[in-house]
Amino acid sequence: MADMITSAKSLAHRFAADETGATAIEYSLLASLIAIACITAFRQLGTTNSGVWFQVSTTIIAAMK
């Protein structure tokens, strides 16, 4: 019984000390934040760009009359 307790403690200690998954999680969080920033910027740029092209088309149509 004592061997099982020692083995369980050893396993728990190794599990707590293992940090290999932490780096992957940090990189995935960083990548998701970058993706959110890019999507936000592209949406804003698309809205602004749409207004510019609408103004250009209106000016061209008016010039053709």
Whole-number Å distance between alpha carbons of 10 and 48: 59
pTM: 0.51
What average pLDDT does range 25-44 have in this prediction? 93
* b (16+ CB within 10 A) / e for 31-56: eeeeeeeeeeeeeeeeeeeeeeeeee
Does residue 65 sit in helix, strand or coil? coil
Dihedrals phi, psi of 18, to nearest 5 degrees: -75, 120
Question: In this predicted model, what pLDDT tens digit does every residue of 25-34 receive, in sequence order?
Answer: 889 999 999 9
Domain boundaries, the chain: 20-64
